[in-house]
Structure 1
């Protein structure tokens, strides 16, 4: 006999999940985690520093304690280690801007039942156009997610000591891979192929890192722009595959294969699903975002990547976890 009777607690949390998005977004928007880190440890002090009401500060603190992002000790509040690492402004891994951004996306979810019925966006919600203002905010907000991954891949490839390597980043967005790797290797050079408005964002980040002299941009749609043959030691394809359908991914992998020098490596970073679709949790849930916003995208299985890469001519494919939702795929 099963003595563990189900309770509605988890379903209540899930059904009201927008509360968590709102609490986190509002706290990040008012810099509460940054103020907590600086020593403001009561509702009154946080309200003063953030310029919000005491009632509002207390409500956010209660919510953040409930979410496990803030702890109380002897009547005073402090960030958890998780919040200190990922929600304090100014840190390279800070997701505070991303948390604020996601709060503005909640309204789009009302379309999901109809999107599920039709199999794609129903309000011209697809984002795959160069002049979509969506990119300006999203590209900068998600850069912090890739910061730890850039370091992991650099170590896997030994990039710091690789000498005069040439890097191509397809759909490179913020330019975080180029900025990080050029900083690690003073002999490396990087090129980013992306839409002009996005390349402008990347140029700013790379310039801030002091490595702009070894960074070049090619403006255009990476589906259509030709790339030089056998010109690159490393090609990056980070968080692009989930926006593409199987045919486009296969075509792009073949294009990359031709752009790589002998012995070169394709680096794919994305949310990868187990072959039996039993996990991991984040990639499985993220698929709904792609259904809502893209025409053909999704979160793809390891077997999908292996099949596409083999068809494109890659023989050595390995998968590497990053202690984050992102999986790194190396193909040679």
Structure 2
């Protein structure tokens, strides 16, 4: 290949991108990152500790070096800083469960060409219903991805110095925001609104952390359940806006504005794209997930959030980075 011709390397990596998902999911399934963190630094040692074949261990190590999750130096393997923080069992932001879950979702992408043609889901799988048994697997698996953003939000909102505040978490899922914030502020109280099976998961998490006495759940659908009036100091709407259309988001933001006390703040957390849709990379890529799974959702622009929140009655809207998410704070 001549010097002035581009290499097909990037395109081939993308075409075979499922290899990376498979390698990461398999490594997480066998706790390879946890074993590496504990000192196993060769294929033979990993094979013994994980009770897998040495050939399999070496193949996973090769792949993980390729995707930049493991370093190799002097014949010894070790986790990168990112793998150590986000893929080791027991760490607060461990994403291993999500890696294993995504491995089971790979087949769904075969429908994407038809979904693109149709402009939305081509099957009525009724995923977003209260009694779907998959919540028991999905909700805990996705909790860890909110740990960094919850910590950033606590800093931005200065929750540690906020005193006796009341928090409403709409569609709170695992309750990870409430858990993080109540640990930061021992005088705060939180209420989570979500479907009953999901709230049960959150109650367990908060109980495990010794926070159950300051955590309340409301079982219901946020589209129809009353938020109250002038009740809360902070309202949270995390990773929900991307599955809703513009009008529905405006309606919820308006109701949340009414639910806040004077001077209260609404925090919206989501994957937000720049106004010209040139970045950031992860939110742009996440749009395909919404096309596959939602009828009107998407990765919305900063300008969209600003316009919607202004229509809902907020006058001060600011944006704060918490990669790959963005925090939108409205007062």
**Post-superposition offset of 1:3:** 5.9
- Match of 2:197, SS state, is helix
Aligned equivalents of 2:320, 2:293: Cα separation in 1: 27
Q: What's the TM-score, normalizing by structure 2?
A: 0.98
Aligned equivalents of 1:88, 1:278: Cα separation in 2: 33
- Indicate the residue corresponding to 1:276 in structure 2: 276
2:75 is aligned with 1:75: yes
Deviations 1:176-220 (A, max 9, x none): 111111111111110000000100110011111111001000001
Q: Which runs of 5+ in 1 are unaligned?
A: none
Aligned equivalents of 1:295, 1:128: Cα separation in 2: 11
Matches within 5 A, 1:128-143: 128-143=128-143
Matches within 5 A, 1:1-332: 4-322=4-322, 324-332=323-331
- Match of 1:46, SS state, is helix
Deviations 1:112-137 (A, max 9, x none): 01111111111224532112233222
Aligned equivalents of 2:123, 2:54: Cα separation in 1: 40
Aligned equivalents of 2:132, 2:274: Cα separation in 1: 32
- Match of 2:168, SS state, is strand
- Match of 1:265, SS state, is strand
- Match of 1:309, SS state, is helix
Aligned equivalents of 2:226, 2:54: Cα separation in 1: 57
Q: CA 1:115 to 1:45, structure 2 compared with 1: closer, same or farther past 3 Å?
A: same
- Calculate the aligned-residue CA RMSD, in Å: 1.1
**Post-superposition offset of 1:91:** 0.1
Aligned equivalents of 2:161, 2:103: Cα separation in 1: 41
Q: CA 1:126 to 1:273, structure 2 compared with 1: closer, same or farther past 3 Å?
A: farther
Q: What's the TM-score, normalizing by structure 1?
A: 0.98
Q: Which runs of 5+ in 2 are unaligned?
A: none
Aligned equivalents of 1:168, 1:281: Cα separation in 2: 30
User: After alignment, is 197-206 or 125-134 more displaced?
Assistant: 125-134
